[in-house]
Amino acid sequence: QKEVEQNSGPLSVPEGAIASLNCTYSDRGSQSFFWYRQYSGKSPELIMSIYSNGDKEDGRFTAQLNKASQYVSLLIRDSQPSDSATYLCAVNISPRGSYIPTFGRGTSLIVHP
């Protein structure tokens, strides 16, 4: 079983819609969760981090964490074509250690005008 799983997509949404990206993880002891955005040919950049159950909002982005169900999601409201990218979920998984994120393979998002 993969440690961090994401649907590879592509997820295609119209401009202005809500994009919903999901991620599940295997380690119940995980404490730290991250979403990175990676444009084609570029390196990942951190967009959200979340550490406790519930929602965390930052502008058009909302991260949702449910530790009991072992999933974390990212909602992008009012999606723009510039949001088209691959979104990587990362989780700090033991026993590797608290500070080494394990990445999912990413979900490709396409926002069409």
Among 1, 40, 43, 82, binds another protein (CB under 8 A): 43
Of the candidate residues 19, 106, 109, 111, the single one contacting another protein (CB under 8 A): 106
| 3-class DSSP state of 80 | coil
Compare residues 14 and 59 and give the one whose CB is closer to another protein: 59
Segment interacting with another protein (CB under 8 A) among 15-23, 29-37, 66-74, 76-84: 29-37
90 vs 111, which CB is nearer to another protein?
Answer: 90
What Cα–Cα distance (Å) separates residue 61 from each residue in 3, 55, 94?
Answer: 24, 10, 27
User: x/- string (CB under 8 A) for another protein, residues 68-97?
Assistant: --------------------x-x-x---xx
At its nearest, how many Å lie between another protein and the CB of residue 101? 5
Q: Among candidates 50, 29, 6, which has minimal Cα distance to 98?
A: 29
- Where does 1-106 show beta strands of DSSP type E? 4-6, 11-14, 19-25, 33-38, 45-50, 54-58, 61-66, 71-76, 85-92, 101-103
Nearer to another protein, 18 or 46 (CB): 46
